[in-house]
């Protein structure tokens, strides 16, 4: 199967490319970058030196293919989709443009109107653990936001099980790596300023809340995001309050029921060792979402811990997993890397 | 004035020593370390090379002095206090042993009985912003826990102002540096394992909760702590829910009323630049507690952000500030370092 | 083919295990650890959670297998080899015990006598780029030291080509990551001390010099090693002085002649982008040795830059590559991971 | 005394400002920044929040003062010097423009002609350990380059003592922090690319060589620079070859003779502890240059290790030290900060 990547010079585009170059079922036909058209890909993605001799091309040179990965900036996908969908029967879009079902909600969170409202319903929200059946039949997939993916996967089993006291707040805190911000330099991403920072970059009103609210059917979520010293990875600590006292066993049961058969969800709560809860550090390069928890014996608080590599399960890995499902291939194809320790 | 440090080979002991060696009003008489007795201090604290030629001595060699800084492990202070208080009229204790007023609460959180219950009431809890008047008259001071200090200073103005809806949870999340764990190596602090980690080291039931509950007169606090890649510093993100909608101006007013004259509290909420909220990175070596906030316009959530250097305002700096108050000296003496940028 | 790992709780053992679990031609039979016998492997190597349900066993429980990976501490392999070689026809040893050909040299560098001198000649030094033909026929392989591997691979083409002025010194500087020191905690590896350090841990007389001298047929090498903030990776900067002026083209020719067909050597010298020379950061998890250079136009100095992941090409990857050669398999089997960017 | 800073929004300008605001003998009159004119200084230098309420002004608004610190980019100082010297009797320039004595050498290294050649001789090269007597009488000082400072201070005693075999190369390797590159963001300084890097940014022909050659009277120096994960700090490892075998005692004697009375040079070579050689990590914020060494018993190689904080002894601290000397003040005034441990 022939695939192409639109917007392949960014971090997410580069990660999709890496996965596809090692994927046994696909051939990468073209990778676009307006800025780097004509350059060897290895100049931008030095890890692919010796792996591919492809060069970037311009979006204007794109040929027809079987599946198009669109890694364009938010707000740009909806402007290009009409033209690009003529090139491929299947599209996986990485922007935020087609994640929401409501143009009104889109405008509320993104502060500008949606210009391709009619197409919104054609896209399936790309988290396989929530929408596997739909993805199987889909032609268009909207890759979920990285923070949204990590938060939703942690909360989903408990929302589904109906054990959370919805009169109490749901407080979710994401600790985020620098690659989440993309590859455009700014003073905020300048190494002397960004290194070792603990920066409250979005204490309230993070746009990914819109996805969490939609997918979990919430009224509101009290979400905050903090930048930390890490290149890849997200840890979300979600605090919910249960309707009634629960034991570890109760929580395990809920998690196992939701995710017992999921190939990319690991349940992590150890009594030994130092990696007792989920940690993004050991997930670099993997498609896992590790989920764990703790109960506060003094209150009905359940602390849910979920971790992903933002560029993998939070982006490129999620998209490849969705492609595998869509094509009827083994879901884990090309996503077998187990992660490193130590790293 | 002559001062000595008991337990001076640890990180907190070393930091007190650094401050005292540069303090114009005191002379450091002795520094004890059982393990390093006889060794030059510079071997353990290499920053003090050329600053002092002192050697560590044993606790048995301690002479009388005017003020004793006790930097012993938790549970050890209460065993030594009877003997040590004979050596000095004033004691500042860094352990957790004399922070709580109730032996019962102590036992509940520390899981062993208190063995010097009678002395508990003699100690003043060492946060100057809450107990300045008492510290002025005190002979015995219990330095507050670092996470407790940072969390309490963030919450205190709002608790005092009575604006928090106490039927809703108070969720506080601390991001903690590695020096907080002291200088004893373990697999958890081993560089390849600890570097770049996001480790949920205490999602619930952190012992410092006992201090927060006591000082803020709470029933419970939903506190979680996560280890991050940083050697010094704490950022606490505290989520509270207000009784009624508030504006930025309302919050500023509450903060200014509480801290407007405090020499070591800075209120931080900028509309420009990249350091818009408090960040521990630029506080390394300073005695500041920077406090900022954000309001969630979608809910009544107030997000309080507070940051300190755990070894300074969270430990040695706090103690020196308390000493300055106790002795009637200018409160900022020896604590003037403004911090570095970038760092 | 059935393989077992002796000493599988360390970082190198864990990395071999990770590679072997994903290797299509082998089955991991047993993994020993005296300290962790009976524990699940995931407790020590959290990346392998969900990948294997194996438990560590004791060395006493080892059964016969086809190939044994010995990841024991230096000095221990030579004590165990007689017994262990009865269990498998093939052995790949990771310790320094069988890398040298001369027991006298061994004693000079390791400061204790060699106790299995007779076996020294049976081992092939494990760098495939130098000893592929011998490895093909070997039963016993001594994996090269990580710093030695990286330095030797950089120097080898130029030594071979005879262009270096051997009356001038060869100065090689290795910048080393923390995983090189193994998984045993100490104050030197304690996170607050080790983070962000630039520590001259071995300015002279590093033991790996013995291997460089042997393999490159040198009299002496002026090697220094500095610890840097990195968990994985080595960059060696080697300064040699050429017999006569050379151009970039001359150097390229020498490198291409030596390594043009090597699957795991990449030649790196770009005129564009930011990764113009080899960098270990993007090699994490890969088996590549990236090699580049610069000429000093003011002198006859050639600066050779070589980079590896110390746990991969410097250890586990090298061993698996050697196994593939030894078994007549495709040399890259199980070593296809291209590395990540950014990371 | 009234001082002003031209170009105060950069890292070096900010560091000078920090030192001057805490200096008991001076008053900061103005700080210029064309880009930030009108903004509060705390927006750019968040550490100075609460320390100063100054705003940046434009260079056009500069008033007369007693001493001018010029922190302008290389090539800009020489264009502004004629106008600026009218404003102050004394100038300390941070650019490279007046470090060299020869306009020809300047052009050779900086690739453009010098436009204020006549003034070159009026400037004293600002390393006090080499030029204290001249600085005392100077009006114009050229602050030395950071890498040059660190390398020169390490080599100087041995050049002076005449013990180096000058027929052999002098190989110096600097490991450099990110603040050295200034505060202008680029893809090379972008956090995901720059973090944890070991990047050979200048393997040959670093411009600071010109200063080393001039100050040490060399024909050539084989200098290479590598970027490492650090915000502040330089470690230079210099390899020289001695005319004849030497002992540790010989080397100590040479160092003590050269630097025995220097307030900011510390000689570091310990037999105990983990900080046995100089390390920049513990020098952050200090004006020390720590110098140590090792002898290679197998050759006549002397490995000299020198470490500084590039923004302090390598820039702002050096300038303030020079100002103190020039003004006849205690040389250490305002430079007393001992550095932190751990950090």
Residue with tokens 């990346």: C47
Cβ atoms of D232 and D146 within 8 Å: the answer is no
Instruction: Using alpha carbons, list the distances in angstroms from residue C239 to A60, B97, C171, C303, D243.
Output: 47, 58, 5, 5, 20
Residue B337 lies in a domain: no
With CA atoms as reference, the chain D residue closest to A46 would be D193
D29 found inside a domain? yes
CA distances to A250, B51, B173 from A168, in Å: 20, 55, 17
- D221 and D116: one domain? no
Q: Are A5 and A87 spatial neighbours (Cβ–Cβ below 8 Å)?
A: no
Q: Which residue has the tokens 């669109």?
A: A70
User: Do A324 and A333 touch, CB atoms closer than 8 A?
Assistant: yes
Q: Which two structure tokens, joined as six digits, stand for C235?
A: 């960059």
A297–B contact, CB cutoff 8 A: yes
Q: B214: burial class by Cβ within 10 Å (0-12, 13-18, 19+)? A: middle
Alpha helices, DSSP H, located in C208-316: 209-216, 248-259
B6-49 per-position pLDDT tens digit: 999 999 999 999 999 999 999 999 999 999 999 999 999 999 99
The answer to the question of residue C335 being in a domain is: no
Cβ pair C335, C132 in contact under 8 A: no
Question: Closest partner residue to C192 among B179, B186, B196, by Cβ?
Answer: B179
**How close does chain B come to C298, measured CA to CA in Å?**
35
ipTM value of the model? Answer: 0.97
C21 touches chain A (CB under 8 A): yes
CA distances from A271 to A276, A278, A296, B15, B110 (A): 7, 13, 16, 34, 20
Segment C219-259, tens digit of pLDDT:
999 999 999 999 999 999 999 999 999 999 999 999 999 99
Which regions of chain B does DSSP assign to beta strands (E)?
A: 2-6, 27-31, 65-70, 88-93, 123-125, 140-142, 171-176, 199-202, 222-227, 234-241, 265-267, 289-295, 301-308
Q: Would you call A198 and B204 a contact, using CB atoms and an 8 Å cutoff?
A: no
Chain D residue closest to C231 (CA)? D196
> Would you tell me which residues 175-234 of chain C have a C-beta closer than 8 angstroms to some C-beta of chain D?
175, 187-188, 192-193, 196-200, 203-205, 220, 222, 224, 226, 228-230, 233
Distance from CA of B89 to the nearest CA of C (A): 35
Please tell me whether residues B233 and B205 are part of one structural domain: yes
Min Cα distance B189 → chain C (Å) is 5
Count how many pairs of residues, chain A against chain D, have C-beta atoms within 8 Å.
Answer: 56
**Cβ–Cβ of B198/A222 closer than 8 Å?**
no
pLDDT, tens digit, for every residue of A117-131? 999 999 999 999 999
Q: Using an 8 Å CB-CB cutoff, list chain C residues near B201.
A: none
Chain B residues in contact with D339 (beta carbon < 8 A)? 47
**Residue B183 sits in the same domain as residue B286:** yes
Distance CA B50, CA B71 (A): 24
* pLDDT on residue D58: 98
Is the pTM here over 0.90, yes or no? Answer: yes
Identify whether B343 is part of a domain: no
Identified catalytic residue from B57, B65, B71, B146: B146
Q: C31 has which bridge partners?
A: C5
Reading the block at residue A289, the tokens are: 């979402």
The per-residue pLDDT for B318 is 98
A44, A45, A186, A192: best to mutate for the D interface, most D CBs within 10 A? A192
A266 interfacial to chain C (CB closer than 8 Å): yes
Is residue D112 in a domain? yes
Q: Which of C57, C71, C146, C209 is catalytic?
A: C146
CA nearest to B14 within chain D: D341
Residue pLDDT, tens place only, B66-110: 999 999 999 999 999 999 999 999 999 999 999 999 999 999 999
Q: Do residues C244 and C153 both lie within one domain?
A: yes
CA distance B337 to B4: 23
CATH code of the domain in which D31 resides: 3.40.50.720
* Angle A94-A96-A98 from CA coordinates, rounded to 5°: 90
Residues 149-178 of A with CB under 8 A from D: 177-178
CB contact (8 A) between residue B338 and residue D282: no
User: Is the Cβ–Cβ distance between A106 and A210 less than 8 Å?
Assistant: yes
CB-CB contact of B195 with C178 (8 Å): yes
Cβ <8 Å between C338 and A51 = yes
Token pair 């929580």 is found at A251
Mutate to test the interface with D, among A190, A281, A310 (most CBs of D within 10 A): A190
Active site residue B197: no
The alpha-carbon radius of gyration of chain A (Å, integer) is 20
B142, B123 contact by CB (below 8 A): yes
Q: Is residue B332 part of a domain?
A: no
Structure tokens belonging to residue B76: 């050890």
Residues C255 and C321 both lie in one domain:
no
Asked if residue C191 and residue C43 are part of one domain, the reply reads no
Q: State how far the Cα of D304 lies from the Cα of D294, in Å rounded to an integer.
A: 7
| A274–B169 C-beta distance less than 8 A | no
The Cα of C191 is separated from the nearest Cα of chain D by a number of Å equal to 10
Q: Say which residues have a Cβ less than 8 Å from residue C237's Cβ, sequence separation at least 6.
A: C172, C173, C175, C303, C304, C305, D173, D200, D203, D224, D226
Tell if the CB–CB gap between D301 and C200 is shorter than 8 Å. no
CATH number of residue C289's parent domain:
3.30.360.10
In which residue are the tokens 């059935």 written?
C2
Q: What is the pLDDT of residues C75-88, one digit of tens each?
A: 999 999 999 999 99
Does one domain contain both B191 and B85?
A: no
Chain A neighbours among C 267-286 (CB < 8 Å)?
A: 268, 270, 272-273, 275, 279, 282, 284-286
Residue D137 lies in a domain: no
Span B134-164, pLDDT tens digits: 999 999 999 999 999 999 999 999 999 999 9
B128: nearest Cα among B337, B299, B340, B329: B329
Closest partner residue to D285 (CB to CB) among B45, B49, B285 is B285
Give the active site residue among D57, D65, D71, D146: D146
| The pLDDT value given to residue D116 | 96
Instruction: Examine residue C342 and say whether the peptide bond preceding it is cis (omega within 30 degrees of 0).
Output: yes
- Please name the chains neighbouring D, where neighbouring means 3+ C-beta pairs under 8 angstroms: A, B, C
pLDDT above 90 covers a percentage of chain A that reads: 100
- Chain segment A191-246, per-residue pLDDT in tens: 999 999 999 999 999 999 999 999 999 999 999 999 999 999 999 999 999 999 99
In which domain, by residue range, is B189 found?
Answer: 146-308
What is the distance, to the nearest Å, from the Cα of residue A300 to the centroid of all Cα atoms in its chain?
Answer: 30
Could you tell me if D161 and D282 lie in one domain? Answer: yes
For residue A200 the two structure tokens come to 């409250």
**Strand A140-142 relative to strand A88-93, pairing:** parallel
- pLDDT, position D205: 96
Same domain, residue pair A218 and A318: no
> Is the Cα dihedral B214, B215, B217, B219 positive or negative?
negative
Quick check: C18 contacting A, CB < 8 Å? Answer: yes
C319 to chain B, minimum CA–CA distance in Å?
22
Element (H, E) at B251: helix B248-259
CA separation (Å) from A343 to A339, C145, C343?
9, 20, 10
Closest CA–CA distance from residue D339 to any residue of chain B (Å): 6
Q: Is residue C171 part of a domain?
A: yes
Residue B86 is predicted with a pLDDT of 97
- C296 and C273 in contact (C-beta within 8 Å)? no
Which secondary structure element, helix H or strand E, spans residue D266, and what is its range?
strand D265-267
CA–CA gap between residue B133 and residue B140 (Å, rounded): 14
Separation of alpha carbons B52 and B23, rounded Å: 13
Cβ separation of A285 and C342 shorter than 8 Å? no
pLDDT tens series, chain D, 343 aa: 999 999 999 999 999 999 999 999 999 999 999 999 999 999 999 999 999 999 999 999 999 999 999 999 999 999 999 999 999 999 999 999 999 999 999 999 999 999 999 999 999 999 999 999 999 999 999 999 999 999 999 999 999 999 999 999 999 999 999 999 999 999 999 999 999 999 999 999 999 999 999 999 999 999 999 999 999 999 999 999 999 999 999 999 999 999 999 999 999 999 999 999 999 999 999 999 999 999 999 999 999 999 999 999 999 999 999 999 999 999 999 999 999 999 9
Task: Domain count for chain A, please give it.
Answer: 2
Residues B170 and B271 in one domain: yes
Please give the radius of gyration of chain C, using alpha carbons only, rounded to the nearest integer: 20
Q: Cβ–Cβ contacts within 10 Å for residue D63, how many? A: 11
Write out the E strands in chain A.
2-6, 27-31, 65-70, 88-93, 123-125, 140-142, 171-176, 199-202, 222-227, 234-241, 265-267, 289-295, 301-308
Q: What is the mean pLDDT of residues A92-110?
A: 97
Instruction: Give the model's pLDDT for residue B240.
Output: 98
CA-based nearest residue to B338, from B263, B237, B262, B268: B263
Is there a single domain that holds both residue C286 and residue C173?
A: yes
Q: Which of residues 34-53 of D touch A (CB under 8 A)?
A: none
Count of alpha carbons within 13 Å of A173, Cβ hemisphere only?
A: 29
- Angstroms from C13 CA to nearest CA on chain B: 15
**Average pLDDT value over all residues in chain B:** 97
Asked whether residue B66 falls in the same domain as residue B193, the answer is: no
Residue holding tokens 């809890």? B125
């Amino acid at each position: 199967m022939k695939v192409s990547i639109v917007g392949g010079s960014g971090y997410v585009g580069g990660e999709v490319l890496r996965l596809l170059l090692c994927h046994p079922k696909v051939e990468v036909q073209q990778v676009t970058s307006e800025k780097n058209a004509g350059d060897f890909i290895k100049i931008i993605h030095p890890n692919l030196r010796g792996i591919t001799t492809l060069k970037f091309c311009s979006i204007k040179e794109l040929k027809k293919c079987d599946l198009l990965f669109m890694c364009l900036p938010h707000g740009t996908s909806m402007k290009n989709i009409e033209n690009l969908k003529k090139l491929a029967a299947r599209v996986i879009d990485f922007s935020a443009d087609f994640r929401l079902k409501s143009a009104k909600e889109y405008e509320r969170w993104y502060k500008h109107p949606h210009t391709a409202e009619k197409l919104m319903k054609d896209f399936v929200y790309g988290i396989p653990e929530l929408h596997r059946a739909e993805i199987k039949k889909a032609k268009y997939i909207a890759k979920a936001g990285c923070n949204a993916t990590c938060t939703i996967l942690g909360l989903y089993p408990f929302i589904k099980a109906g054990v959370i006291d919805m009169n109490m707040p749901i407080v979710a805190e994401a600790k985020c790596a620098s690659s989440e911000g993309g590859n455009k330099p700014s003073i905020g991403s300048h190494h002397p300023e960004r290194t070792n920072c603990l920066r409250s970059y979005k204490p309230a009103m993070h746009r990914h809340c819109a996805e969490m609210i939609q997918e979990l059917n919430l009224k509101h979520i009290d979400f905050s995001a903090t930048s930390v010293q890490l290149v890849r990875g997200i840890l979300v600590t979600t605090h919910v309050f249960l309707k009634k006292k629960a034991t570890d066993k109760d929580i395990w049961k809920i998690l196992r029921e939701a995710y017992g058969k999921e190939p990319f969800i690991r349940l992590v709560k150890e009594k030994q060792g130092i990696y007792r809860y989920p940690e993004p550090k050991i997930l670099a390069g993997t498609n896992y979402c590790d989920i764990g928890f703790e109960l506060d014996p003094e209150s009905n608080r359940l602390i849910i811990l979920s971790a992903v590599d933002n560029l993998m399960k939070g982006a490129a890995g999620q998209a490849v997993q969705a492609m595998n499902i869509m094509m009827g291939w083994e879901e884990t194809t090309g996503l077998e890397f187990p992660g490193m320790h130590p790293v």
